[in-house]
Amino acid sequence: MVTAAASDWTSYAVKQDWHDDHFVSGPHIMSFNHKSDPYGPFKCQYTCNADASCNAYFVWYENVDTDDEHLNCVLFDAIIPRSVFVETNGTITSGAYDRLCNRSS
């Protein structure tokens, strides 16, 4: 898991230019809330594993503490460097995750 350099950030996103350069798909919306973390990111991993071009994914929760709270999962074709995080407001970020390595046969 890759987290923001500022350890007190709970709401951050990926810089838009990096996002646009490496975007694969998403946001994949899942009906998990931040209280279920890390189960939501675990499910997002399955989405990434199913896409051969996915090398990393970013997860955050929107509409926190409402009936509409949900998880967003965005897939990227590159490992997400810590340097591309920017602070945001109004969401809870779970983090950026690198795809698990596939076993070679």
38 or 63, greater pLDDT: 63
Q: Looking at residues 3-13, what average pLDDT do you find?
A: 68
Parallel/antiparallel/unpaired status of strands 12-14 and 85-87: antiparallel
The neighbour count for residue 27, using CB atoms within 10 Å, is 16
The answer to whether 54 and 77 are in contact (CB under 8 A) is yes
97 or 67, greater pLDDT: 67
Q: Where residue 7 falls among pLDDT bands split at 50, 70, 90?
A: low
Least confident of 21-25, 54-58, 64-68: 64-68
Q: Looking at residues 4-24, what average pLDDT do you find?
A: 83
Asked whether residue 75 is domain-assigned, the answer is: yes
Q: What's the total number of domains in the chain?
A: 1
State residue 101's pLDDT score.
62
**Residue range(s) defining the domain that contains residue 51:** 12-98
Asked whether residue 105 is domain-assigned, the answer is: no
Asked whether residue 7 is domain-assigned, the answer is: no
Q: Quote the mean pLDDT of the chain.
A: 85
Which residue matches tokens 């929760």?
61
